[in-house]
Amino acid sequence: MKKTVLSGMRPTGILHLGNLYGALKNWINLEKENYNRFYFVADWHALTTGFDDAKDIPENTINMVIDWLAFGLSPEKNTLFVQSLVKEHAELFLLLSMITPVGWLERVPSYKDQIAQLGKVKTSNYGFLGYPVLMAADIIIYKAHYVPVGLDQVAHLEFTRELVRHFHALTKKEIFVEPQPLLTEVPKILGLDGRKMSKSYNNAIYLSDTEEETAKKIKIMFTDPRRKRRSDPGVAEECGVFMLHKIFSPKELQDEIKEACSKATIGCVDCKKKLTENLNNALRPIREKREDLINKKEYVKEILIEGSKRASKVASTTLEEVRDAIFSAKRLR
Ligand code: TRP
Ligand code: SF4
Protein backbone atom coordinates (compact mmCIF):
# COMPACT_ATOMS: atom_id res chain seq x y z
CA MET A 1 0.00 0.00 0.00
CA LYS A 2 1.10 3.51 -0.81
CA LYS A 3 2.65 5.33 2.12
CA THR A 4 1.68 8.80 3.22
CA VAL A 5 3.77 11.87 3.96
CA LEU A 6 2.42 14.90 5.71
CA SER A 7 3.81 18.12 7.05
CA GLY A 8 2.58 21.47 8.25
CA MET A 9 3.82 25.00 8.70
CA ARG A 10 2.51 27.68 10.98
CA PRO A 11 1.29 30.67 8.94
CA THR A 12 4.23 32.99 9.31
CA GLY A 13 3.39 34.91 6.11
CA ILE A 14 6.00 35.33 3.41
CA LEU A 15 8.82 32.80 3.48
CA HIS A 16 12.54 33.58 3.40
CA LEU A 17 15.31 31.71 1.60
CA GLY A 18 15.93 29.57 4.68
CA ASN A 19 12.34 28.28 4.68
CA LEU A 20 12.26 27.86 0.92
CA TYR A 21 15.56 26.07 0.36
CA GLY A 22 15.12 24.13 3.63
CA ALA A 23 11.69 22.72 4.30
CA LEU A 24 9.92 23.54 1.07
CA LYS A 25 12.64 22.16 -1.19
CA ASN A 26 12.29 18.85 0.64
CA TRP A 27 8.55 18.82 0.12
CA ILE A 28 9.06 19.37 -3.59
CA ASN A 29 11.70 16.63 -3.78
CA LEU A 30 9.16 14.22 -2.33
CA GLU A 31 6.97 14.73 -5.39
CA LYS A 32 9.25 12.22 -7.12
CA GLU A 33 8.34 9.48 -4.63
CA ASN A 34 5.31 7.27 -4.73
CA TYR A 35 3.51 8.70 -1.69
CA ASN A 36 0.22 10.25 -0.80
CA ARG A 37 1.21 13.80 0.14
CA PHE A 38 -0.51 16.24 2.48
CA TYR A 39 0.79 19.70 3.34
CA PHE A 40 -1.14 22.15 5.41
CA VAL A 41 -1.16 25.52 7.10
CA ALA A 42 -1.29 25.01 10.86
CA ASP A 43 -3.37 28.08 11.60
CA TRP A 44 -4.82 26.76 14.86
CA HIS A 45 -1.28 26.13 16.06
CA ALA A 46 -0.54 29.79 15.44
CA LEU A 47 -3.24 30.62 17.98
CA THR A 48 -1.57 28.65 20.75
CA THR A 49 0.90 31.44 21.40
CA GLY A 50 -0.59 34.24 19.34
CA PHE A 51 -4.16 34.76 20.38
CA ASP A 52 -3.53 38.49 20.65
CA ASP A 53 -2.42 38.94 17.05
CA ALA A 54 -4.71 36.48 15.36
CA LYS A 55 -6.00 39.05 12.90
CA ASP A 56 -3.03 38.53 10.57
CA ILE A 57 -3.45 34.75 10.36
CA PRO A 58 -5.82 34.60 7.34
CA GLU A 59 -3.64 36.91 5.27
CA ASN A 60 -0.46 35.18 6.40
CA THR A 61 -1.99 31.89 5.36
CA ILE A 62 -2.59 33.05 1.80
CA ASN A 63 0.78 34.77 1.52
CA MET A 64 2.60 31.71 2.72
CA VAL A 65 0.77 29.44 0.29
CA ILE A 66 1.50 31.89 -2.54
CA ASP A 67 5.19 31.35 -1.76
CA TRP A 68 4.69 27.56 -1.70
CA LEU A 69 3.15 27.69 -5.17
CA ALA A 70 5.57 30.26 -6.58
CA PHE A 71 8.48 28.14 -5.43
CA GLY A 72 7.00 25.20 -7.32
CA LEU A 73 4.99 23.07 -4.91
CA SER A 74 2.35 21.42 -7.07
CA PRO A 75 -1.31 21.70 -6.07
CA GLU A 76 -2.03 18.65 -8.22
CA LYS A 77 0.65 16.33 -6.91
CA ASN A 78 0.01 17.34 -3.30
CA THR A 79 -3.07 17.93 -1.21
CA LEU A 80 -2.62 21.45 0.10
CA PHE A 81 -5.01 22.49 2.82
CA VAL A 82 -5.71 24.60 5.87
CA GLN A 83 -6.00 22.98 9.28
CA SER A 84 -8.98 25.06 10.38
CA LEU A 85 -10.92 24.07 7.25
CA VAL A 86 -10.76 20.40 8.25
CA LYS A 87 -12.79 20.38 11.46
CA GLU A 88 -12.04 16.70 12.03
CA HIS A 89 -8.64 17.76 13.38
CA ALA A 90 -10.46 19.47 16.23
CA GLU A 91 -12.57 16.44 17.04
CA LEU A 92 -9.58 14.12 17.10
CA PHE A 93 -7.70 16.66 19.22
CA LEU A 94 -10.56 16.63 21.70
CA LEU A 95 -10.78 12.85 21.83
CA LEU A 96 -7.02 12.44 22.18
CA SER A 97 -6.96 15.01 24.94
CA MET A 98 -9.14 12.64 27.00
CA ILE A 99 -6.38 10.05 27.10
CA THR A 100 -3.32 12.31 27.20
CA PRO A 101 -1.58 12.45 30.58
CA VAL A 102 -0.82 16.07 31.44
CA GLY A 103 2.58 14.99 32.72
CA TRP A 104 3.59 13.89 29.22
CA LEU A 105 2.83 17.35 27.90
CA GLU A 106 4.78 19.09 30.62
CA ARG A 107 7.79 16.96 29.74
CA VAL A 108 7.85 17.86 26.02
CA PRO A 109 11.10 19.90 25.68
CA SER A 110 9.58 22.69 23.59
CA TYR A 111 7.06 23.34 26.36
CA LYS A 112 9.69 24.51 28.82
CA ASP A 113 11.80 26.17 26.11
CA GLN A 114 8.87 28.24 24.89
CA ILE A 115 7.89 29.29 28.40
CA ALA A 116 11.47 30.45 28.94
CA GLN A 117 11.41 32.31 25.62
CA LEU A 118 7.94 33.83 25.60
CA GLY A 119 7.29 34.18 29.32
CA LYS A 120 4.63 32.73 31.57
CA VAL A 121 1.81 35.05 30.50
CA LYS A 122 1.85 34.16 26.78
CA THR A 123 2.11 30.46 27.52
CA SER A 124 -0.34 30.02 30.40
CA ASN A 125 -3.23 28.93 28.17
CA TYR A 126 -4.50 25.39 28.01
CA GLY A 127 -4.19 25.28 24.20
CA PHE A 128 -0.48 25.96 24.44
CA LEU A 129 -0.01 22.99 26.74
CA GLY A 130 -2.01 20.92 24.27
CA TYR A 131 0.07 21.94 21.22
CA PRO A 132 1.58 18.44 20.78
CA VAL A 133 -1.84 16.77 21.05
CA LEU A 134 -3.16 18.90 18.19
CA MET A 135 -0.02 18.15 16.21
CA ALA A 136 -0.45 14.43 16.86
CA ALA A 137 -4.05 14.68 15.64
CA ASP A 138 -2.87 16.48 12.47
CA ILE A 139 -0.55 13.62 11.65
CA ILE A 140 -2.34 10.46 12.67
CA ILE A 141 -5.70 11.48 11.24
CA TYR A 142 -4.10 10.83 7.81
CA LYS A 143 -2.20 7.77 9.09
CA ALA A 144 1.00 9.43 7.88
CA HIS A 145 4.13 7.29 7.85
CA TYR A 146 6.63 10.08 7.30
CA VAL A 147 6.72 13.66 8.47
CA PRO A 148 9.39 15.90 6.92
CA VAL A 149 10.35 18.30 9.70
CA GLY A 150 13.33 19.98 11.27
CA LEU A 151 15.19 18.68 14.30
CA ASP A 152 13.16 20.97 16.56
CA GLN A 153 10.04 18.90 15.85
CA VAL A 154 11.46 15.45 16.54
CA ALA A 155 10.30 15.43 20.16
CA HIS A 156 6.76 16.18 18.98
CA LEU A 157 6.88 13.10 16.77
CA GLU A 158 8.18 11.00 19.61
CA PHE A 159 5.22 12.24 21.64
CA THR A 160 2.89 11.37 18.77
CA ARG A 161 4.15 7.81 18.60
CA GLU A 162 3.77 7.41 22.34
CA LEU A 163 0.22 8.68 22.16
CA VAL A 164 -0.57 6.27 19.31
CA ARG A 165 0.68 3.32 21.37
CA HIS A 166 -1.31 4.55 24.36
CA PHE A 167 -4.47 4.83 22.26
CA HIS A 168 -4.01 1.36 20.84
CA ALA A 169 -3.37 -0.12 24.27
CA LEU A 170 -6.46 1.52 25.75
CA THR A 171 -8.89 0.73 22.94
CA LYS A 172 -7.37 -2.61 21.88
CA LYS A 173 -7.71 -1.37 18.29
CA GLU A 174 -4.84 -0.73 15.87
CA ILE A 175 -6.11 2.26 13.94
CA PHE A 176 -3.16 4.57 13.60
CA VAL A 177 0.32 4.49 12.11
CA GLU A 178 3.32 5.49 14.22
CA PRO A 179 4.86 8.34 12.20
CA GLN A 180 8.59 8.76 11.67
CA PRO A 181 10.34 12.08 11.08
CA LEU A 182 11.95 12.55 7.67
CA LEU A 183 15.11 14.42 8.50
CA THR A 184 16.34 15.19 5.02
CA GLU A 185 19.44 17.28 4.83
CA VAL A 186 18.90 21.00 4.63
CA PRO A 187 21.54 23.50 3.52
CA LYS A 188 22.79 25.81 6.20
CA ILE A 189 21.53 29.30 5.46
CA LEU A 190 22.72 32.26 7.47
CA GLY A 191 21.06 35.65 7.63
CA LEU A 192 22.63 39.00 6.83
CA ASP A 193 24.06 39.28 10.35
CA GLY A 194 25.70 35.85 10.40
CA ARG A 195 23.06 34.33 12.67
CA LYS A 196 20.61 31.71 11.44
CA MET A 197 18.26 33.24 8.86
CA SER A 198 15.03 34.02 10.67
CA LYS A 199 12.10 36.35 10.27
CA SER A 200 12.33 37.39 13.91
CA TYR A 201 16.00 38.36 13.59
CA ASN A 202 15.18 40.69 10.72
CA ASN A 203 18.11 39.29 8.74
CA ALA A 204 16.37 37.45 5.92
CA ILE A 205 16.07 37.63 2.14
CA TYR A 206 12.59 37.19 0.69
CA LEU A 207 10.96 36.53 -2.65
CA SER A 208 9.13 39.80 -2.06
CA ASP A 209 12.44 41.72 -2.13
CA THR A 210 13.19 43.43 -5.43
CA GLU A 211 16.46 42.64 -7.17
CA GLU A 212 17.82 46.00 -5.99
CA GLU A 213 16.79 45.33 -2.39
CA THR A 214 18.38 41.90 -2.64
CA ALA A 215 21.62 43.46 -3.91
CA LYS A 216 21.63 45.92 -1.01
CA LYS A 217 21.06 43.17 1.51
CA ILE A 218 23.90 41.06 0.14
CA LYS A 219 26.17 44.12 0.19
CA ILE A 220 25.83 44.46 3.95
CA MET A 221 25.96 40.73 4.62
CA PHE A 222 28.50 39.44 7.14
CA THR A 223 31.43 37.55 5.62
CA ASP A 224 34.16 35.47 7.19
CA PRO A 225 35.51 37.69 9.99
CA ARG A 226 39.06 36.55 9.17
CA ARG A 227 38.91 38.80 6.11
CA LYS A 228 39.24 42.12 7.89
CA ARG A 229 41.41 43.46 5.10
CA ARG A 230 41.27 42.59 1.43
CA SER A 231 44.64 40.86 1.77
CA ASP A 232 43.56 38.61 4.67
CA PRO A 233 42.75 35.05 3.58
CA GLY A 234 39.44 33.54 4.63
CA VAL A 235 37.56 30.28 4.90
CA ALA A 236 34.66 30.29 2.47
CA GLU A 237 32.93 27.34 4.15
CA GLU A 238 32.38 29.52 7.20
CA CYS A 239 30.96 32.46 5.31
CA GLY A 240 27.23 33.07 4.88
CA VAL A 241 27.80 34.48 1.40
CA PHE A 242 29.45 31.27 0.34
CA MET A 243 26.64 29.19 1.82
CA LEU A 244 24.34 30.98 -0.64
CA HIS A 245 26.80 30.45 -3.51
CA LYS A 246 26.44 26.75 -2.74
CA ILE A 247 22.75 27.01 -3.55
CA PHE A 248 22.78 29.51 -6.39
CA SER A 249 26.14 29.27 -8.18
CA PRO A 250 27.54 26.56 -10.45
CA LYS A 251 29.99 24.13 -8.91
CA GLU A 252 32.96 25.52 -10.87
CA LEU A 253 32.39 28.98 -9.47
CA GLN A 254 32.05 27.58 -5.96
CA ASP A 255 35.40 25.83 -6.28
CA GLU A 256 36.99 28.92 -7.73
CA ILE A 257 35.73 31.09 -4.86
CA LYS A 258 36.74 28.63 -2.18
CA GLU A 259 40.27 28.67 -3.50
CA ALA A 260 40.44 32.40 -4.18
CA CYS A 261 39.02 33.24 -0.76
CA SER A 262 41.68 31.13 0.94
CA LYS A 263 44.39 32.95 -1.01
CA ALA A 264 42.79 36.37 -0.79
CA THR A 265 42.81 36.65 -4.57
CA ILE A 266 39.15 37.60 -4.61
CA GLY A 267 37.61 40.36 -2.55
CA CYS A 268 34.29 40.02 -0.75
CA VAL A 269 32.79 42.81 -2.86
CA ASP A 270 33.36 40.87 -6.07
CA CYS A 271 32.34 37.61 -4.48
CA LYS A 272 29.06 39.20 -3.43
CA LYS A 273 28.46 40.68 -6.89
CA LYS A 274 28.63 37.24 -8.42
CA LEU A 275 26.27 35.88 -5.81
CA THR A 276 23.79 38.71 -6.32
CA GLU A 277 23.66 38.04 -10.03
CA ASN A 278 23.19 34.28 -9.70
CA LEU A 279 20.70 34.57 -6.87
CA ASN A 280 18.57 37.16 -8.62
CA ASN A 281 18.66 35.14 -11.85
CA ALA A 282 17.50 32.02 -10.05
CA LEU A 283 14.75 33.83 -8.19
CA ARG A 284 13.50 35.86 -11.17
CA PRO A 285 10.97 33.31 -12.48
CA ILE A 286 9.88 32.47 -8.93
CA ARG A 287 9.39 36.14 -8.14
CA GLU A 288 7.42 36.62 -11.35
CA LYS A 289 5.16 33.73 -10.47
CA ARG A 290 4.69 35.20 -7.02
CA GLU A 291 3.69 38.59 -8.47
CA ASP A 292 1.22 36.80 -10.69
CA LEU A 293 -0.31 34.80 -7.83
CA ILE A 294 -0.71 37.92 -5.68
CA ASN A 295 -3.29 39.03 -8.23
CA LYS A 296 -4.98 35.64 -8.12
CA LYS A 297 -5.73 35.20 -4.46
CA GLU A 298 -9.12 33.75 -5.24
CA TYR A 299 -7.44 31.00 -7.23
CA VAL A 300 -5.11 30.30 -4.29
CA LYS A 301 -8.05 30.14 -1.90
CA GLU A 302 -9.80 27.77 -4.28
CA ILE A 303 -6.80 25.42 -4.18
CA LEU A 304 -6.91 25.40 -0.40
CA ILE A 305 -10.66 24.84 -0.25
CA GLU A 306 -10.43 21.97 -2.74
CA GLY A 307 -7.48 20.47 -0.87
CA SER A 308 -9.28 20.79 2.44
CA LYS A 309 -12.26 18.90 1.02
CA ARG A 310 -9.99 16.10 -0.14
CA ALA A 311 -8.24 16.02 3.23
CA SER A 312 -11.58 16.02 5.01
CA LYS A 313 -12.63 12.84 3.20
CA VAL A 314 -9.63 10.95 4.54
CA ALA A 315 -9.89 12.52 7.99
CA SER A 316 -13.56 11.71 8.44
CA THR A 317 -13.00 8.07 7.55
CA THR A 318 -10.37 7.82 10.26
CA LEU A 319 -12.65 9.53 12.75
CA GLU A 320 -15.37 6.98 12.22
CA GLU A 321 -12.91 4.31 13.28
CA VAL A 322 -11.79 6.40 16.23
CA ARG A 323 -15.29 7.07 17.58
CA ASP A 324 -16.09 3.45 17.22
CA ALA A 325 -12.94 2.40 19.07
CA ILE A 326 -13.48 4.86 21.91
CA PHE A 327 -17.13 4.27 22.49
CA SER A 328 -16.80 0.52 22.37
CA ALA A 329 -13.80 0.36 24.69
CA LYS A 330 -14.59 -1.20 28.06
CA ARG A 331 -12.60 1.26 30.09
CA LEU A 332 -10.38 4.09 28.95
CA ARG A 333 -7.75 3.94 31.64
N1 TRP B 1 4.76 22.27 14.92
C2 TRP B 1 5.13 22.46 13.55
C3 TRP B 1 6.11 23.65 13.47
O4 TRP B 1 6.09 24.49 14.32
C5 TRP B 1 3.95 22.78 12.69
C6 TRP B 1 3.02 21.62 12.63
C7 TRP B 1 1.77 21.55 13.17
C8 TRP B 1 3.27 20.37 12.03
N9 TRP B 1 1.22 20.35 12.95
C10 TRP B 1 2.11 19.59 12.25
C11 TRP B 1 4.37 19.85 11.33
C12 TRP B 1 2.04 18.27 11.79
C13 TRP B 1 4.30 18.54 10.88
C14 TRP B 1 3.13 17.76 11.11
O15 TRP B 1 6.88 23.73 12.54
FE1 SF4 C 1 32.89 35.12 1.98
FE2 SF4 C 1 33.37 35.43 -0.57
FE3 SF4 C 1 34.44 37.10 1.20
FE4 SF4 C 1 35.29 34.61 1.08
S5 SF4 C 1 35.46 36.16 -0.53
S6 SF4 C 1 34.78 35.73 2.93
S7 SF4 C 1 33.42 33.51 0.56
S8 SF4 C 1 32.28 36.85 0.75
- Whether 278 and 322 map to the same domain: the answer is no
Closest C-alpha to ligand 2, atom 5: 268
Q: Report if residue 243 sits inside a domain.
A: yes
Q: How far is the CA of 246 from the centre of ligand 1 (A)?
A: 28
- The CB of 149 under 6 Å from ligand 1? The reply is yes
pLDDT of residue 52: 73
Q: What is the pTM of this model?
A: 0.95
pLDDT of residue 7: 98
Q: Is 18 exposed, middle or buried (0-12, 13-18, 19+ CB in 10 A)?
A: buried
Q: Report if residue 203 sits inside a domain.
A: no
CA pair distance 109, 94, nearest whole angstrom? 22
Q: How far is the CA of 118 from the centre of ligand 2 (A)?
A: 36
Give me the residues of the chain with pLDDT under 50, please.
none
Q: How far is the CA of 185 from the centre of ligand 1 (A)?
A: 18
Q: Report if residue 136 sits inside a domain.
A: yes
Q: Which atom of ligand 2 is nearest to the CA of 271?
A: 2
pLDDT of residue 333: 59
Contacts by residues 152-155 (CB-CB < 8 Å, ≥ 24 positions apart): 152/110, 153/181, 154/181, 154/183, 155/108, 155/109, 155/110
Closest C-alpha to ligand 2, atom 8: 268
pLDDT in tens, 197-243: 999 999 999 999 999 999 999 999 999 999 999 999 999 999 999 99
Q: Which atom of ligand 2 is nearest to the CA of 245?
A: 7
CATH code of residue 80: 3.40.50.620
Percent of the chain with pLDDT over 70: 99
Q: What angle do CA 96, 101, 106 make, to 5 degrees?
A: 110
- Whether 240 and 126 map to the same domain: the answer is no
Report the residue among 221, 257, 276 best suited for mutation to probe ligand 2: largest number of ligand atoms under 8 A from its CB. Answer: 257
pLDDT in tens, 267-306: 999 999 999 999 999 999 999 999 999 999 999 999 999 9
Q: How far is the CA of 189 from the centre of ligand 2 (A)?
A: 15
pLDDT of residue 137: 98
Domain that holds residue 244: 211-292
- Whether 97 and 124 map to the same domain: the answer is yes
- Whether 179 and 81 map to the same domain: the answer is yes
